[in-house]
Structure 1
Amino acid sequence: MTLLEKVLLKCSEGLIAILDREIPTGKYIPLDLSVLNRDLGTLDIGNPSVCQEYIDKVLNNDSSSVAYGGYLERRNLYSKSPGFGVKGEEERNIHLGIDFWAKAGTKVIAPLGGVVHSFKNNEVSGDYGPTIILRHILNGIQFYTLYGHLSIESLQGLYKNKEINAGEAFATLGDTTINVNYAPHLHFQIIKELGGFKGDYPGVCAQKDLNMYQKNCPDPNLLLKITPPFIG
């Protein structure tokens, strides 16, 4: 386990909410959007309407409000989006964050205190749409958290180094027209080194690059503790 992973794991003893606190944590349910999920075999999961119907089915079957998951999940979700596959190159289909699928307009809560590093509306279809990156320092370790697929209103009033407090509702989820062709959700990712990116960072990688990205983007569950954390 890296030093950053140890810091994240020790940051809290229990679950950290990242969406509206009025949604009970008991209303969260895991969601499998991987290529191994046989229920998706006949579905065009890259179609946001089809994806939403499937998510609604999972939520309704369990009387839940938020579906979550996806770290290092290999997905077919991106097969129709530009930028995820270039002819002659390996497809980018391994997800590097955790997604929280919920209604558009749902509040996004900062899990840690930090400052705004950068923000941007990544408007290309299949990208993040409105995105915010926060910078954090814990125990002398600097790292970043990325929040993608937000509402356009979430970018209003932001500026570099604006302070965001732990537990603060600082953004909301965008709808399909704003988050560039996805069912409404939050993409949450932890990043050790941004490498010059501003308001953006790859959230999906190819198998050949997985080792590098996995080291730079640790499991967000170490911090959030939605399910029993990885210890190694």
Structure 2
Amino acid sequence: MILPIDFTKDPYLILDFTEKNPDLNTLELTDTSAFDRYVFDKLRKAGARVGVGGYNEHRVIYRRSPHFQQTEADGAREPRVIHLGIDLWAEAGMPVLAPLDGFVHSFQDNANFGDYGPTIILEHEVKGKPLYSLYGHLNRESLAGLYEGKRIKSGEKVAEIGPFPENGDWPPHLHFQLMTDMLGLKGDFPGVCSLSDRAKFLSICPNPNQLLQIPGLP
């Protein structure tokens, strides 16, 4: 469990942020208040406690920020569009729980528009190998009192979902991601990659639903 939600009993709604969703053609994605109203209106109408956004999804919502562009060696710009985690859209202040025993690997406030905002990365050991879990779009209070190496027990509250704009300026949600290799990074890790980098990142970012077990997601 990563939120105080039982996905086998509590109502949730799978949200589509790909080009297949016609709503995104008219939604002003750079207006976070409008984006927030869209998400939470959808949840209210569905009677859902949380919205779920999928792993390995080719999304169009990242056009809202230049943060999701990367410069190639030849100077060309390629958009980052492939989502490497699972999003859980829920009200700000909802507790975030550790799904496994571990310790704090690193943390920081990634404060660019459209970025993670306050971010925590935990390190775990699974079958004798390291596994890292990332929690993005938190509130700033979540970083208070943290230190690298702090032990965390499974089920322990590690953070809270943050409000905008401090959460990277997104409608409140948790970005949850798994990595088998941190690539030397601390306090940050790409949560979205380009099409050309898709195979590389999927090879080190396993599907978080292996842990979450949300019905209806691959």
Give the alignment's TM-score, normalised by structure 1.
0.86
Deviation at residue 38 of structure 1 after TM alignment: 1.7
Partner SS for 1:91 = strand
Within the candidate set 32, 48, 51, 2:35 is matched to 51
* Residue-by-residue CA offset, 1:17-55 (whole Å, 9 max, x unaligned): 211359985222211111221222221234322221221
Partner of 1:106: 94
Single out whichever of 35-44 and 63-72 deviates more from structure 2. 35-44
Q: C-alpha distance in 1, partners of 2:179/2:127?
A: 16
The percent of aligned pairs where both chains have the same amino acid is 45
Single out whichever of 36-45 and 102-111 deviates more from structure 2. 36-45
Deviation at residue 150 of structure 1 after TM alignment: 0.4
1:46 and 1:78 in contact (8 A); partners too: no
* Residue-by-residue CA offset, 1:85-129 (whole Å, 9 max, x unaligned): 257221111111000111111100111111000000111111111
Within the candidate set 169, 181, 196, 1:208 is matched to 196
1:94 is aligned with what amino acid? I
Partner of 2:11: 27
Partner of 1:181: 169
Change (3 A) 1:108 1:77: same
Aligned length: 214
2:53 is aligned with 1:69 = yes
Structure 2, unpaired ranges of 5+: none
Partner of 1:138: 126
Change (3 A) 1:42 1:229: closer
Q: C-alpha distance in 2, partners of 1:209/1:23?
A: 31
* Residue-by-residue CA offset, 1:106-165 (whole Å, 9 max, x unaligned): 100111111000000111111111000000001112110000000100001111111111
RMSD: 1.8
* Residue-by-residue CA offset, 1:139-192 (whole Å, 9 max, x unaligned): 112110000000100001111111111011110011102112111110000001
Structure 1, unpaired ranges of 5+: 1-16
The correspondence of residues 93-172 of structure 1 with structure 2, limited to 5 A, is 93-172=81-160
Partner SS for 2:34 = helix
In terms of fraction of residues, the more strand-rich structure is 2
Q: C-alpha distance in 2, partners of 1:221/1:196?
A: 25
Partner of 1:10: none
1:68 and 1:98 in contact (8 A); partners too: yes
Q: C-alpha distance in 2, partners of 1:79/1:139?
A: 39
Q: C-alpha distance in 1, partners of 2:181/2:161?
A: 25
Q: C-alpha distance in 1, partners of 2:210/2:187?
A: 23
Q: C-alpha distance in 2, partners of 1:25/1:81?
A: 36
1:45 and 1:76 in contact (8 A); partners too: no
1:221 and 1:227 in contact (8 A); partners too: no
Single out whichever of 35-44 and 135-144 deviates more from structure 2. 35-44
Q: C-alpha distance in 2, partners of 1:43/1:56?
A: 14
Give the alignment's TM-score, normalised by structure 2.
0.92
Partner SS for 1:133 = strand
2:10 and 2:49 in contact (8 A); partners too: no
Runs of 4+ in 1 over 3 A off after TM superposition: 21-25
